[in-house]
Structure 1
Amino acid sequence: MTTRVAANGIEIAYESFGSPAARPLLLIMGLGAQLIHWDEGLCELLAEQGHHVVRFDNRDTGLSTHFHDHGVPEQGAPSAYLLDDLADDVAGLMDALGWPAAHVVGASMGGMIAQTLAIRHPGRLLTLTSIMSTPGPSIAPPSEAALAVLMARPPADRESVRAQAVTTWSTIGSPGYELDREKVMAMAGLAYDRCFDPAGTARQLAAIMASGDRTESLAGVSVPTLVMHGEADQLVPIVGGRATAAAIPGARLVTYPGMGHDLPQPLWPQIVAEITKLTTA
């Protein structure tokens, strides 16, 4: 069941898995992605390992507050918000959940938000897991092919969204694992039905670009940190994961051959095991 709560002056939609008495684990998704992009099966596996899992919609995605009044960002104009604000949203959500601190996992832009949370609100994290992310957009620029799908013109209707999703994930997904086209199209259709807001994604991208490089600030992060990255990632190349691990004292880097900018189901047991090893240490 999806619940909406007030947090940091906006409303955030979230869902939970597992026992409220279990270890709190907050999942932060990436650019333009909704809470459903944390697959239910993966969330359930994490819950089975003793986590109380919460997945949520960032601002400008899904059922959380959208900043429609800001429209599509114009080149050179100030961004509607920064990653700092998205991190403050997370702290506000934790307040609403009654969580003084939590294990925090972020993927892609979600990893950037998690890193920013660790910088701005260090006491709110028990552990940090940064997946397929980077300390700054200039450190790990996308390949030409990945950039082309990232900047492609938004589709006009539901079926076009489903078709474009296959093109996108065929390009930036994991070449070492077979793409489940039917599942990709089903997820794209579900995301379209929940909320279709390409301008919101553009505002998030503007926030990433305007937020700069966190490398120097990450040197002050002291929570136990895990960095995971696919060795075949074209959207955020592996140099981003290596830079993240190098920036955070004591961080452990785990890489996966054949993994691109997604979380292939065959790797879920390994990913869950790595996160659980961190949260139970």
Structure 2
Amino acid sequence: MTTSSVTSSDELFASLPSGIDLCHQTFGDDTDPAILLIMGLSGPMGWWDEELCRLLADRGFFVIRYDNRDTGRSTKVRQHAMGRTDLVRAFLGVPPLKLGPVDLAVRAPYSISDLAEDAAGLLDALGIDQAHVVGASMGGMIAQTLAIQEPDRVLSLTSIMSTTGRRTVGWQDPRLIPHLLKRTKPTRDAYVARSVESSALIGSPAFPPDPEAARRRAEITYDRGYSASGVVRQMMAILTQPDRTAALRRLSVPATVVHGTADRLVNPSGGRATAEAIPGAELRMVEGMAHDLPPALWDTFVAAITDTAARAS
């Protein structure tokens, strides 16, 4: 893989009217069409690898990656404490329940819709009216929601290893649940060890993750501002999201859905349902891909994103 000569900005901060500050970085010429990259659960912007960003910029795009709230160097929403019980009840879809004066409803501190508003706010801060929007996993949920809420701002949509919010599709392999809910010590070493384990569990079998690379990524992620409580808040947003199927059917945007045939974290049914819901969407199933963005598939992702963008023009 050749090294790009595309220049990048320093990490910058955008202050949104909501009080959220988003750390972000750009690649390429700001006069080129913009691509907004939205990462998933607990993933800082660095999970969109710098070389992948440069590959997109080399294709003539102004590429933006950023830390979602509660991730990396962006604002941590500290006023809401959530626990394992909240997660379990949200996962089981426990309906609102009130026992006398006690309200037992499961409520997330913020929603996928709020995260989509963050993305729109970042575009506002950068003076960008429209962008090609790409999301991975939770980022795909945010990207879909942004297209629903701000249809005039989304030039094209690429949803990677994500789902519609409907509970009957995109489910997790039950064997992963104990790992997802497992308690770990609040230390750097414990986080790194668990991240390497997660990489092995959800990584692509046809493109096996490098344990040493997974370890380095985990160390960087932790040092940039990992928040265990922030991960819980993001998980609550995912578990309480609405079913977007009907809203997706009303979209009129060029869209491509990319999903791995071996995804255990978001079953491939989630990708198929997303493509079926969006009129004219193209579905690209990748054999042997699971729930990661392996370097061997970067050209595949670049092709999906740029082909979708071309359909917009």
The question of a shared fold, defined as TM-score above 0.5 by the shorter chain, is answered with: yes
Rounded Cα–Cα distance in structure 1 between residues aligned with 2:279 and 2:244: 14
Q: 2:128 aligns with which of 92, 99, 102?
A: 99
Write out aligned runs for 1:56-135 (5 A).
56-73=66-83, 75=86, 76-135=105-164
Write out aligned runs for 1:111-190 (5 A).
111-136=140-165, 138=167, 139-190=169-220
Answering whether residue 279 of structure 2 is matched by residue 249 of structure 1, we say yes
Counterpart for residue 5 of structure 1: 14
Indicate the SS of the match to 1:280. Answer: helix
Rounded Cα–Cα distance in structure 2 between residues aligned with 1:258 and 1:65: 36
Distance 1:106 1:8, change over 3 A: farther
Deviations 1:3-41 (A, max 9, x none): 011124111110111111222000000011111111111
Rounded Cα–Cα distance in structure 2 between residues aligned with 1:31 and 1:222: 27
The 8 Å contact of residues 42 and 268 in structure 1, kept in 2 or not, is answered as yes
Q: Choose 1 or 2 for highest CA Rg.
A: 2
What TM-score does the superposition give when structure 1 sets the normalisation length?
0.97
Indicate the SS of the match to 1:106. Answer: strand
Per-residue deviation, 1:207: 1.1
Indicate the SS of the match to 1:70. Answer: coil
Per-residue deviation, 1:277: 1.3
Deviations 1:39-96 (A, max 9, x none): 1111111111111110001111111111111122562432111111111111110000
Indicate the SS of the match to 1:103. Answer: strand
The 8 Å contact of residues 82 and 210 in structure 1, kept in 2 or not, is answered as yes
- Let me know the Cα RMSD of the aligned residues: 1.2
Unpaired segments ≥5 residues, structure 1: none
Indicate the SS of the match to 1:123. Answer: coil
The 8 Å contact of residues 24 and 66 in structure 2, kept in 1 or not, is answered as yes
Distance 1:131 1:266, change over 3 A: same
Per-residue deviation, 1:108: 0.2
The 8 Å contact of residues 158 and 304 in structure 2, kept in 1 or not, is answered as no
Counterpart for residue 54 of structure 2: 44
Deviations 1:175-202 (A, max 9, x none): 1112211110001000100112111111
Q: Which letter maps to 2:165?
A: G
The 8 Å contact of residues 166 and 245 in structure 2, kept in 1 or not, is answered as no
Indicate the SS of the match to 2:182. Answer: coil
Q: 2:28 aligns with which of 18, 21, 35?
A: 18
Unpaired segments ≥5 residues, structure 2: 1-9, 87-104
Q: Which letter maps to 1:51?
A: F
Distance 1:202 1:137, change over 3 A: farther
Residue identity (%): 46
Rounded Cα–Cα distance in structure 2 between residues aligned with 1:78 and 1:249: 32
The 8 Å contact of residues 222 and 249 in structure 1, kept in 2 or not, is answered as yes
The 8 Å contact of residues 147 and 235 in structure 1, kept in 2 or not, is answered as no
